Structure 1
Amino acid sequence: MSKAKASKKSTPEVSHVDREHYINRELSWLEFNRRVLHEAIDDRTPLLERLKFMSIFSSNLDEFFMVRVAVLKDQVAAQVSQLTPDGRTPQQQLQDISAILHPMVVKQHQHFETELRPELANHGIHLLNYIDLNQEQRLYLQDRFEKRIFPTLTPLAVDPSHPFPHMSNLSLNLAVVIKASAQADEKFARVKVPTSIHPRFVVFPEELRQHDGKPVVWMGVPLEQVIAHNLEMLFPGMIIQEYSLFRLTRDADLAVEEEEADDLLLAIQQELRKRRLGGSAVRMEIHASMPQSVRERLMQELELADNDIYEVDGLMNLKDLMSLRSLPLPELKDPSWSPVVPPRLQLVNELVAEGTPLEEGNDVFSVIRRKDLLVHHPYDSFAASVELFITQAAIDPNVLAIKMTLYRTSGDSPIVNALITAAENGKQVAVLVELKARFDEENNINWARKLEQTGVHVVYGLVGLKTHTKTTLVVRQEGDRIRRYVHVGTGNYNSKTAKLYTDLGLLSCREELGADLTDLFNYLTGYSRQRSYRKLLVAPVNLRDHMVSLIRREIEQCKSGKSGRIIAKMNSLVDPQIIATLYEASQADVQIDLIVRGICCLRPGLKPVSENIRVISVIGRYLEHSRIFYFQNSGNEELYIGSADWMPRNLDRRVEAVTPVEDPDLAKDLQEILSIMLSDNRQAWELQPDGSYVQRHPQNGEPERSAHKMLMELARPKEND
């Protein structure tokens, strides 16, 4: 699809949404991250899991500034005057973000310093400040500094002969003020804290890990404090006046003119090099003790305003707390969970584990031929289902071809290795690797090159569109016929995230799905301009129109005197046309429940606009990533799963695939998942008409219901089936 066509498609005629009925996208995202922070503060969350959520909150903010805030700043610089659907200018959004986020960040750091840090110490985890160390510990750190850290440091002076240094994105730095003598002028220098080559926390050996004369589990000091207390080695003969810690965030979004790039892979590699150097600064975190003169100098050099500065009183960059979660303290973590083998694949996995050659009738293809299979990760094992499907296809002598889309995959991907094996076995293997998967571009480039070197046909998607669909097509010779097996999922082919994200996948050999995926892959790899599909809903072709028509069908049911019901589960709901149509449905008395983990721009509960719409967000042990769409259809219920959220980018600017789930038993399974999610009173938050969220709690003595715990319990019996 040409960029002109993609652009035209991305601006459909949409129904009108009044500004006051639309929640700002960026502010809704901040509310999502507030819910993440709550999990770090909630004392019902195990201690090391609270550190995990502290880390995720910080990591989320990094990406938010690198992408979303950077875009807003670019719009302000370009004097963009277009208003958002809720009526805000780019400058107003930046002001609102600052007003909401500054107190949230203060709350995060205060809670860590006053609550979590002491509680960690109570459990034998001591994150110390340098001033708290005894003489023996200081001597150990001095020796470590001299032998390991000092040789890797590069102090950079700033004076007429030394220009202000470039500071890389997300770098942690010490701003040092020095003098040659008591009477000399002050000079400024910067020392980068090299967290890319040294761990953030310098851990003491066992013999030095003691508190009140008793051994403890873990004891360490932040790397920047070790450097700061040895600055005289970096500036011999100088007087260290003061030092301050700061951390910089830069614009890190890629800008690739695809139609101008003869080689998309090369173009993205060049942009990645620019990202590492960093774009313009968008945020600076500083220690609260930083002198005003140093603060002003940094702001001037980096062209930052007061709203871009975030003061931290205590440990900076709490993202690094994630490393402490690996400590061997299971009592401070969520109970362990091992994904179960789907019962119908139990025998196949046992034979594979024994090394027994699979024969027709006891292989994964025989299982799928008998009946469609729905898998739900991480409750169902990804390795024992999706990976099994692809690895078996790679070695099955009857498989002729494998076609697949890769958006994000793990660094040691068994699936990529299986594709290489398949190519080496003489099968036709075609893989669409999406090079524009944000922050995974470099990983995907490496895999693309490795795949190409082994004979796999690699394509990089369509100009102007990201390929976000999660699909696999396996073509198999069976007697005198060709049969096509498919996997259509909601999540990436990534064995690591499959243990952390909730996702669904459908394995099927339905003829119409196989034919649709054949057409879809021809669209992705060739010059096909397929405009119709038998079963699949494909963006940007028919997904938007079909979703709107499914909502409108429920409206018509209500207008004819019947009931209407919609349940939709997704990551984000942003699209104005979808929101306007849902408002129409609510006003026609369609009952609507939305399960939206992250951004939701729809306002529920407004009379008479949306009083029949309820929205919840579930934030807990697993990242809710699956997309499920349920339409009552006057008793002839239809359910769909797929890769697309209800966002303009998913409906108009990405290639997405959503499949119906037509097997009655599997449809019931999906309805049960939705019912469990809607019943959650532990991790569920209800969106209020004003855009805030209120967490549910058990009422009137009812038991606590955590959707994730309930789904684990539901999966457990499968082990013995």
Structure 2
Amino acid sequence: MTAEPRVTPDRPGTSARDTAADASAEAAIVSEVSIASASASETRHQAQPRSANGRFSRAAQQPPSEVDHGLPADRFLDREISWLQFNERVLQLAADEHVPLLERARFLAIFAQNLDEFFMVRVAGLKRRIATGIAVRSASGLEPREVLEQISHVAHELMTMHARVYAEQVRPALEDQGVTIVRWDELSDDEHARLASVFTDRLFPVLTPLAVDPAHPFPYISGLSLNLAVILVNPKTGKEHFARVKVPPMLPRLVRVEPGPDESPLADMYDTRFVPLEDVIAAHLDHLFPGMDVVEQFTFRVTRNEDLEVEEDDAENLLTALERELTRRRFGPPVRLEVEEEMDDHVLDLIVRELGVAGSEVYRLPAPLDLRALNVIADLERSELHYEPFVARTNPDLAPTESAKARDIFASIRKQDVLLQHPYDSFSTSVQAFLEQAASDPHVLAIKQTLYRTSGDSPIIDALIDAAEAGKQVLAVVEIKARFDEENNISWARKLEHSGVHVVYGIVGLKTHAKLCLVIRQEAEGLRRYCHVGTGNYNPKTARLYEDLGLLTDDQQVGEDLGRLFNQLSGIAPRSRFKRLLVAPRSVRAGLIAHIQQEIEQERATPGSGLILWKVNSIVDEQTIDALYRASRAGVRVVLWVRGICSLRPGVPGLSETIEVHSVLGRFLEHSRVFYFGGGGDPVVYIGSADMMHRNLDRRVEALIRLTDERHLEDLRSLLERGASERYARWVLSGDGRWTRHHLGPDGTPLDDLQTAMVEMHAKRRRKARRR
């Protein structure tokens, strides 16, 4: 197939059905929803690979066949190009004049950070597989080198577009608002003098110039560091020399140009000027190379393979092995070289030769490089240039009935299941309060918790430590291999261990990605289990920025399910059964496909009654996509809300005519996963941690929980229908792989923003609850 097209702009109680679905799911899942090792009696094709300790096994990974049930071989979009299209949607928000200005600067920074991680992980991994000879043709039908070529082509276009949006749109708009990023030659002599003292006092002591000559080999260039390539000439000999100066990463990338003594300090509020740190260094290179003539200097930046490889089966201590691997991460092979577009060819040739990068891996861009620096601009306190202020409020189901009473989370949960939607519902007054109350309650005997990512000053960690120090049994399943959070998680794992928390690191060969908390409390009638199952991390900071769902419940079945699952994570429980959970790697894929099949049968029995509504971050898994194609062929209406990668082709005649794919991006990162099966008015709905990707379904412990409260089922159907409504701004995917933005009405006015509507809806719900 040819390169996938990129984004295009806008144009002016248990029912009989439950029992049947459960029976179908059980037939599709080996040993119901057990995630234990396969028995020795299984055939070669049925057997699952065993883990070293026999506690878990991965589900067998079956590559997609070229033709499945008559489906065309070219039915999958390429996942890497689809990810780049997602990042282009981020870039479109940066270019949108209807988005507040400082938020546009933030989107430019997010685009840059996203692309860094894409190269460090996806591109690096693909190159590694090609080099070792284990890369195979992708599901989209492309050979590995074809994928790499397409990535290079699209990435070059996107990075050029990114630089252009900054230079031609965002930077001039910022200047109009008194926020200016100036270059050195745009500053006055007085400003030069003031910045000279900044160089002398704060920069010069930490800079290390590295020359290249027979006695000094070309220095190692660490990943994502910004560097100056300096050309020097010895005035006595006329000989040319090359040197490298690293821009210190621990200092602010943008230096604020403070007002002079004759200027009013108040003028600084709405006349804010910054100069790139590398400009200040470049202007004072003569201090670093006294006696040499500085002929020219250019900035450059290297991206390296920073994905981790830890052979867990061979590691006696996973924590120690991971710590060793982290020290090696910055020495990975280069996968991208960004250089200032004015760089001389002979300087570029030297860097390319020394780093060993290919010509296609070189990206010439206008300075300044590394626009992650725009986060400094986006953090400015200019409320008129940000989104409208938003403060999360307590979910009405958790609010005390009398204002004078202290909030009792346990009492609220005993009254009814509570469905949370962050950031609209406050994380601190729900999940955080739940754990803090559990830690301080003398009747709580034990707390069991999974931790994938958490914040640096986490009240969740503090609550677990408080509980352990109060004598409660506390188990923390810490995923120390959470990508790019490994060092943070190692630190917290050590702290938890030293406080008496039982810390385990999940299962060999599997990441523990499930979002689970179980609290066991002694009550008058006996032990009661209080549970939280969510779609997002236990991180108070990201809970203010990510849209996620969570369920608080004391349902006995859920409590038993979580108890069994935690026993598998920390001990040996080879044949656990679950009643309201689907658990990867054994049963999430099979369970969801079984429910898809139920919708197919529903549609055949009653045409027009089949309905599937999903909300996910990504959908790549070929078996799941093929099941959705079969549903569409049967006439089932399928609506997918996909934030990021989508390998499914919607709206293709004879294949996916009844499938729609939409994407919503905005001030909050849409992160929740919802799986809604309509069933002719008798819905089955799951929420949980799993996306439809191989890593989630085959190489992670994930959990989906089935919701039963009719209020919650209706709320989620309403949410999913809103995501596809023509009333709200969104992107729509077509069968040829193009994403089209729909954000303007017929008269050219902006369409409503879904997230703004959700803020208003939750505020209205709270007001209504107070009146009751």
TM range (shorter): over 0.9
| Distance change >3 Å, CA 578–CA 508, structure 1 → 2 | same
Per-residue deviation, 1:477: 0.7
Match of 1:283 in 2: 336
2 CA distance for matches of 1:420 and 1:518? 21
Which piece of structure 1 moves more, 336-345 or 499-508? 336-345
Q: Aligned with 1:513: secondary structure?
A: helix
Per-residue deviation, 1:8: 5.9
Match of 1:414 in 2: 459
2 CA distance for matches of 1:349 and 1:431? 35
8 Å CA contact 2:743, 2:750 repeated in 1: no
2 CA distance for matches of 1:285 and 1:227? 19
Q: Given the alignment, which residue of 194, 211, 214 partners 1:160?
A: 214
Match of 1:715 in 2: 762
Per-residue deviation, 1:309: 0.8
2 CA distance for matches of 1:61 and 1:208? 42
Match of 1:255 in 2: 309
* TM-score where L is the length of structure 2: 0.89
Q: Given the alignment, which residue of 69, 72, 76 partners 1:22?
A: 76
Which piece of structure 1 moves more, 365-374 or 201-210? 201-210
Q: Given the alignment, which residue of 199, 214, 225 partners 2:279?
A: 225
2 CA distance for matches of 1:98 and 1:349? 61
Q: Aligned with 2:724: secondary structure?
A: helix
Once the two structures are superposed, residues 551-581 of structure 1 have per-residue CA deviations (whole angstroms, 9 ceiling, x without a partner) of: 0111111222342110000000000000111
Which piece of structure 1 moves more, 48-57 or 136-145? 136-145
Mapped pair 1:67 → 2:117: no
Match of 1:442 in 2: 487
8 Å CA contact 1:29, 1:599 repeated in 2: yes
2 CA distance for matches of 1:155 and 1:568? 54
1 CA distance for matches of 2:308 and 2:73? 31
Per-residue deviation, 1:666: 1.4
Match of 1:274 in 2: 328
Aligned residue runs from structure 1 range 589-608, under 5 A: 589-608=635-654
Mapped pair 1:469 → 2:528: no
Q: Given the alignment, which residue of 160, 174, 198 partners 2:228?
A: 174
Q: Given the alignment, which residue of 543, 552, 565 partners 2:611?
A: 565
Match of 1:377 in 2: 422
Mapped pair 1:302 → 2:352: no
Q: Aligned with 2:614: secondary structure?
A: strand
Mapped pair 1:113 → 2:171: no
Per-residue deviation, 1:13: 7.2
Q: Given the alignment, which residue of 381, 393, 397 partners 1:344?
A: 397
Q: Aligned with 1:445: secondary structure?
A: helix
Once the two structures are superposed, residues 432-457 of structure 1 have per-residue CA deviations (whole angstroms, 9 ceiling, x without a partner) of: 00011000011111111111111100
Which piece of structure 1 moves more, 556-565 or 311-320? 556-565
| Distance change >3 Å, CA 698–CA 193, structure 1 → 2 | closer
1 CA distance for matches of 2:212 and 2:571? 55
What is the aligned-residue RMSD (CA, Å)? 1.9
2 CA distance for matches of 1:583 and 1:631? 15
8 Å CA contact 2:64, 2:139 repeated in 1: no
Read off the aligned partner of 2:459 and give its amino acid letter: P
Match of 1:614 in 2: 660
Match of 2:186 in 1: 132
Per-residue deviation, 1:707: 1.1
| Distance change >3 Å, CA 646–CA 210, structure 1 → 2 | farther
1 CA distance for matches of 2:723 and 2:497? 42
2 CA distance for matches of 1:364 and 1:601? 41
Read off the aligned partner of 1:686 and give its amino acid letter: V
Structure 2 unaligned regions, length at least 5: 1-35, 38-47, 52-56
Q: Aligned with 1:600: secondary structure?
A: coil
Once the two structures are superposed, residues 56-98 of structure 1 have per-residue CA deviations (whole angstroms, 9 ceiling, x without a partner) of: 0000000000000101111221233510111112211111011
2 CA distance for matches of 1:349 and 1:97? 58
Match of 1:458 in 2: 503
Read off the aligned partner of 1:445 and give its amino acid letter: I
Per-residue deviation, 1:348: 7.9
Match of 2:719 in 1: 673
Match of 2:529 in 1: 484
Once the two structures are superposed, residues 456-477 of structure 1 have per-residue CA deviations (whole angstroms, 9 ceiling, x without a partner) of: 0000000000000000000011
1 CA distance for matches of 2:552 and 2:477? 20
Q: Aligned with 1:484: secondary structure?
A: strand
| Distance change >3 Å, CA 487–CA 189, structure 1 → 2 | same
Per-residue deviation, 1:315: 1.5
State, as a whole percentage, how many aligned pairs show the same letter.
46
Q: Aligned with 2:456: secondary structure?
A: coil
Q: Aligned with 1:420: secondary structure?
A: helix
2 CA distance for matches of 1:178 and 1:12? 58
8 Å CA contact 2:49, 2:60 repeated in 1: no
Aligned residue runs from structure 1 range 92-111, under 5 A: 92-111=146-165
Match of 1:335 in 2: 388
Match of 2:26 in 1: none
1 CA distance for matches of 2:275 and 2:719? 45
8 Å CA contact 1:523, 1:529 repeated in 2: yes
Which piece of structure 1 moves more, 496-505 or 9-18? 9-18
Read off the aligned partner of 2:530 and give its amino acid letter: Y
Q: Aligned with 2:685: secondary structure?
A: strand
Read off the aligned partner of 1:711 and give its amino acid letter: M
8 Å CA contact 2:443, 2:521 repeated in 1: yes
8 Å CA contact 2:235, 2:292 repeated in 1: yes
2 CA distance for matches of 1:717 and 1:697? 25
Number of matched pairs? 710
Per-residue deviation, 1:697: 3.3
8 Å CA contact 2:126, 2:135 repeated in 1: no
* TM-score where L is the length of structure 1: 0.96
Per-residue deviation, 1:207: 2.8
Per-residue deviation, 1:143: 1.7
Mapped pair 1:11 → 2:11: no
Per-residue deviation, 1:621: 1.0
Q: Given the alignment, which residue of 224, 239, 243 partners 2:297?
A: 243
8 Å CA contact 2:58, 2:699 repeated in 1: no
2 CA distance for matches of 1:209 and 1:129? 22
Per-residue deviation, 1:479: 1.0
Q: Aligned with 1:289: secondary structure?
A: coil
Structure 1 unaligned regions, length at least 5: none
2 CA distance for matches of 1:59 and 1:209? 39
2 CA distance for matches of 1:647 and 1:534? 24
8 Å CA contact 1:569, 1:626 repeated in 2: yes
